[in-house]
Structure 1
Amino acid sequence: MRDAIVVRGGWEGHVPVEATELFIPFLRERGFAVEVHDRLDVYTDADRMSRVDLVLQCWSIGTVTDEQVAGLDAAVRAGTGLAGWHGGIVGSFHHNRYQHLTGGLFVHHPPGFLDHTLTVLPERAEHPLVAGIGTVRLHTEKYWVLSDPLNDVLATVTYEPEPDTPWREPVTLPAVWTRNWGAGRVFVSTVGHKVDDLTVPEIRTITERGLLWAAR
């Protein structure tokens, strides 16, 4: 049996409990023992983290210590998987080492929920996380992120210029990516502000596949 921990908390607007509860039964059905933490201190427990095969993190707009980040980073480098979505992973902490680990940082979204399309990159269409998925219509927050060129970007969203925007040409930004970090794997999806987003069939499929892909 593999070992997963769910680390959830921070801003309640991202419904960390309700969102992660969607995927805990899935992990258990796939043979994971799942333990839930509502504190970041577990990241500093080197013995515990050495036995974790997957960290599912949903923690937004929080504060993290150097020691906590160092513990998480060391675990991933040693083979622990890290996975998450939306602000629970790319809007979690303003900490350089953490952002280096995850490969991305949320910087902006237009007000409210927008109709937009997530597009799988044609050259990555056979990747196991997105196989069989071409485009996904969404009505939710549209994330603008800064991202690391080491990321393996699987899907994107595009911002078109408008009369009141400071950019003057279409901007295509990563929406789903993976990365290797030492012996570990990291999965990130920017979709998931609300439970309804995560139950869109294609998004749920990508997220479930991402959890399994990231796990040791």
Structure 2
Amino acid sequence: MRNALVVRGGWEGHVPVAATEVFLPGLAADGFAVEIAEDLDVYRDADRLARTDLIVQCWSQGTLTAEQAAGLTAAVHAGTGFAGWHGGIVGTFTGNTAYLRMVGGLFLFHPDEFLSYAVHVDQPEHPIMAGLGDFDVFSEQYWMLHDDRNDVLAHTVIAADSAGQGAGAVTMPVVWTRRWGAGKVFFSAVGHRVEDLEAPAVRELTRRGMAWAAR
């Protein structure tokens, strides 16, 4: 049995408790013993993080201290997996460059509050995306800065008239993985609400992504 640590809190608009509860049964079914932390000081506990095979973070609009960031990034670099979705990963700790380098992206904007948009699978052979195919979601369509070292598994296209960026549409990643030292990182942009996460394709790729990221 592997150990998963769910770190949740921050802005309540992203329903961190309800959102993470969606995936607790799946983590247990995938063979994880799950613990929950609702204080970022857990990232200062090097021994605990060393025993953790997967961190699932859902913490939006927060602030990491230098010590917390150092503990988290060192643990992932040493092999602890890191996974999550939406603003709980890329819409938080925005003043901490060590954290942002690890996750590979930063949320900037979404064109409308909610809209229907297509998610196009770029790597159908990847175990996270296998058999899912392209799908539609009704959620926020995230515009992000992102790192070329990300391995993009799925993308969306933001219409030219949605963001004031000029005449052409813009391709934006939706799902990516990356490496940070010995650790693996998984991110999905979908997940503002519980309903978003419970959409079958989103729920399945997120469950698979967490399992993939784990040590």
Instruction: Normalising by structure 2, report the TM-score.
Output: 0.97
Q: Which runs of 5+ in 1 are unaligned?
A: none
Equivalence for 1:147: 146
Equivalence for 1:8: 8
* 1:116 alignment partner AA: Y
Alignment of 1:48-63 (within 5 A): 48-63=48-63
Task: Show structure 1 runs of 4+ deviating over 3 A.
Answer: none
Equivalence for 1:89: 89
Equivalence for 2:21: 21
Equivalence for 1:70: 70
Equivalence for 1:32: 32
Equivalence for 1:119: 120
Structure 1 residue 169 displacement after superposition: 0.5
Q: How many matched pairs?
A: 214
Equivalence for 1:110: 111
Equivalence for 1:188: 187
Q: Would the aligned equivalents of 2:105 and 2:144 in 1 still touch at CA under 8 Å?
A: yes
* 1:39 alignment partner AA: D
* 1:50 alignment partner AA: A
Structure 1 residue 196 displacement after superposition: 0.5
RMSD: 1.1
* 1:132 alignment partner AA: G
The 1-side partners of 2:112 and 2:206 are apart by 25
The 1-side partners of 2:93 and 2:68 are apart by 11
Pick closer, same or farther for the CA change 1:163–1:200 going to 2, 3 Å.
closer
Instruction: Normalising by structure 1, report the TM-score.
Output: 0.97
* 1:149 alignment partner AA: D
Q: What SS class does the counterpart of residue 98 from structure 1 fall into?
A: helix
Deviation sequence 1:148-183 (CA, Å, 0-9, x none): 000000000111112872321010011100001111
Percent identical pairs in the alignment equals 57
Equivalence for 1:138: 137
* 1:105 alignment partner AA: L
Equivalence for 1:99: 100
Q: Which runs of 5+ in 2 are unaligned?
A: none
The 2-side partners of 1:31 and 1:133 are apart by 23
Structure 1 residue 125 displacement after superposition: 1.2
The 2-side partners of 1:81 and 1:199 are apart by 23
